[in-house]
């Protein structure tokens, strides 16, 4: 289950993995020369018959199936455990992943099935549950295991209590949104506060870790350096991570590499005088994904982000030097007009800032023939700022805008931002922008936008769309993906309703979009 969760959420070398990182939302898009891999066309790539949506749905329910199998085996009397505590922890982990998969299926696909036992025969009669009902099922699972999860672990990557409390906050928030329920918002606040104020976790506010002595950097930069991601490394805002390890990769675990430099870095080698595979340009990028205007420029405007370390050059590198020693302009800054000409020559959008959280200047494996396109550092699944922003959202939805601003300012103060939030400034768009500053590529952006309900997802996608076809094809509002048509068709004994706005017959049939 751990490896499957890592594969679904942290891989980017498949179409569905890029969707789970936020491709096609308000924060992440593709350059023009990658348009054949877009997830932005509502006439082709985002439809009830889209292959990548079917894969995401299937992966979530495979995780549920595996969790149910573990839970069933744990109840068998002929299976022994080292201790009752060991058995309880195995059950707790299985319930955690079952809850997480159900909750995220509800966030993405809305009214789907609750599956709470192993399937031993082919079934065509799954019942469609309401979104809030699915959230509640996940909540019940998580609340039942809190005492069986450790507060901290000596084995990085293992599930801890804070991870369950985080998802409890998120799923209670979902119930509140679906039912307009202030009591659910209270529970979301309660579980987030258990994490934020419980004494285990705290924001990192000082330089730390493996490269803390390097000048010109800051604590946000430190968060993404090698060996700094786990609570056991001294990182007190790390709640849960996916593990990536070079030795495991060499031993045959191809999924133990994080392919961010390859997929998220610009194609610098297309510019004369730039060796586009070196550390100083973020490694060998092929620009499968790029920031939208929102995440590249808008959220960093001085009027809202003056002094914010997250947008400083040390974290978002906007200038690159000619690095070919044989070039006449070696060591000089590549000027904007050269970038503009290169964009016209290769494709619009191929050049954009280097996000240091997505790369490194210390690549491993070069002596073994590895290229500068992968990194072997652990990846955050949950970091404390996201929990804080969940609590801020719950406060806002209750009408407590000052409390929401106070939470947001915990994060902005750590970032040394000179512009602090006021009660009058805070709305859902403000929170989403703050999530983009702090959690770009870390959060599951589609889950965030869709669970928020209303027209939030479609409004923001239209507002920050890079391409006309994205706006022109989005002729309706939505707050769920379509349920894969194959799921509806297979469940022949119980008729399922497709989510509002999505009609399979109106769209092109895509097998491997």
**In angstroms, rounded to a whole number, what is the distance separating the alpha carbons of residues 355 and 340?**
19
User: Rg (Cα) of the chain, in Å, rounded?
Assistant: 23
Where residue 9 falls among pLDDT bands split at 50, 70, 90?
confident
Residue pointed to by tokens 């290229």 = 371
Which pLDDT does position 513 carry in this prediction? 38
- Is residue 226 over pLDDT 50? yes
Asked whether residue 509 carries a pLDDT value surpassing 70, the answer given is no
- Residue 289 reports pLDDT greater than 50: yes
Three-state secondary structure call for residue 379: strand
H or E segment at 320?
none
Q: Looking at residues 22-42, what average pLDDT do you find?
A: 94
Work out the mean pLDDT of the chain and round it to a whole number. Answer: 95
Note the pLDDT of residue 505: 52
pLDDT at 13: 79
Question: Domains in the chain, please, with CATH?
Answer: 2-202+237-241+380-503 (1.25.40.390), 260-371 (no CATH)
DSSP3 helix / strand / coil % (the chain, rounded to 5): 50, 5, 45
Q: Is 226 left (phi over 0), alpha (psi -120 to 50) or beta?
A: beta
192 contacts 411 by C-beta, under 8 angstroms: no
Q: What is the per-residue pLDDT across 227-253, written as a single tens digit (0 to 9) for each?
A: 999 999 999 999 999 999 999 999 999
> How far, in Å, are 202, 216, 234 from residue 152 at the CA level?
14, 32, 12
Give the H or E element holding residue 118. Answer: none
- Residue 433 is predicted with a pLDDT of 99
Q: Write the pLDDT tens digit of every residue in 448-497.
A: 999 999 999 999 999 999 999 999 999 999 999 999 999 999 999 999 99
Separation of alpha carbons 13 and 406, rounded Å: 39
Q: Which residue has the tokens 């870390």?
A: 442
| CA proximity to 390, closest of 356, 431, 358 | 431
pLDDT of 156 > 70? The answer is yes
C-alpha 164/C-alpha 149 separation (Å) is 8
- Nearest one of 212, 211, 204 to 237, comparing CA atoms: 204
Is residue 266 within 8 A of residue 351, CB to CB? The reply is: yes
Contact of 257 with 296, CB cutoff 8 Å:
no
Element of type H or E holding 241: strand 238-242
Mean pLDDT of 193-201: 99
């Amino acid at each position: 289950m751990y490896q499957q969760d890592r594969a679904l959420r942290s891989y980017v070398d498949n179409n569905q993995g890029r969707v789970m990182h936020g491709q096609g939302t308000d924060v992440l898009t593709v350059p023009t020369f990658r348009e054949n891999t877009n997830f932005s066309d509502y006439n082709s790539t985002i439809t009830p018959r889209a292959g990548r949506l079917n894969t995401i749905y299937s992966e979530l329910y495979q995780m549920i199936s595996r969790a149910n199998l573990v839970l069933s085996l744990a109840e068998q009397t002929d299976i022994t455990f080292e201790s009752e505590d060991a058995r309880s922890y195995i059950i707790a982990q299985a319930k955690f992943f079952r809850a997480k998969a159900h909750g995220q299926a509800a966030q993405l696909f809305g009214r789907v099935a609750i599956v709470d036992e192993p399937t031993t025969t082919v079934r065509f009669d799954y019942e469609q549950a309401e979104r809030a009902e699915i959230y509640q099922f996940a909540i019940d699972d998580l609340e039942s295991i809190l005492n069986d999860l450790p507060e901290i672990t000596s084995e990085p990557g293992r599930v801890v209590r804070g991870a369950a409390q985080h998802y409890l906050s998120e799923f209670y928030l979902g119930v509140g949104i679906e039912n307009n329920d202030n009591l659910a918002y209270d529970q979301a606040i309660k579980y987030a506060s258990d994490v934020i104020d419980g004494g285990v976790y705290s924001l990192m506010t000082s330089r730390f870790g493996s490269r803390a002595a390097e000048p010109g950097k800051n604590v946000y930069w430190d968060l993404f350096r090698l060996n700094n991601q786990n609570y056991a490394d001294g990182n007190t805002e790390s709640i849960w991570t996916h593990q990536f390890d070079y030795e495991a990769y060499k031993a045959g675990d191809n999924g133990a590499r994080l392919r961010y430099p390859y997929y998220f870095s610009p194609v610098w080698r297309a510019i004369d005088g730039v060796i586009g595979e070196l550390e100083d340009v973020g490694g060998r990028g092929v620009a499968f994904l790029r920031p939208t205007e929102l995440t590249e420029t808008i959220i960093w405007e001085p009027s809202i982000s003056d002094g914010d370390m997250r947008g400083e050059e040390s974290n978002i590198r906007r200038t690159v030097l000619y690095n070919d020693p044989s070039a006449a302009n070696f060591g000089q800054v590549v000027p904007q007009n050269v970038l503009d000409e290169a964009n016209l020559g290769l494709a619009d959008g191929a050049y954009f800032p280097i996000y240091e959280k997505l790369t490194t200047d210390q690549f491993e494996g070069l002596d073994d023939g590895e290229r500068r396109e992968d990194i072997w550092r652990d990846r955050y699944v949950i970091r404390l700022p996201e929990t804080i922003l969940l609590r801020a959202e719950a406060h806002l939805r209750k009408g407590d805008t000052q409390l929401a601003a106070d939470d947001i300012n915990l994060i902005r103060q750590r970032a040394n931002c000179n512009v602090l939030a006021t009660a009058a400034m805070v709305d859902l768009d403000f929170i989403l922008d703050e999530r983009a500053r702090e959690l770009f590529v870390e959060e599951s952006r589609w889950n965030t936008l869709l669970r928020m309900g209303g027209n939030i997802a479609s409004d923001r996608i239209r507002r920050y769309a890079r391409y006309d076809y994205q706006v022109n094809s989005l002729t309706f509002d939505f707050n769920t993906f379509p349920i894969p048509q194959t799921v509806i068709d297979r469940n022949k004994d119980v008729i399922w309703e497709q989510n509002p706005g999505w009609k399979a017959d109106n769209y092109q049939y895509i097998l491997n979009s």
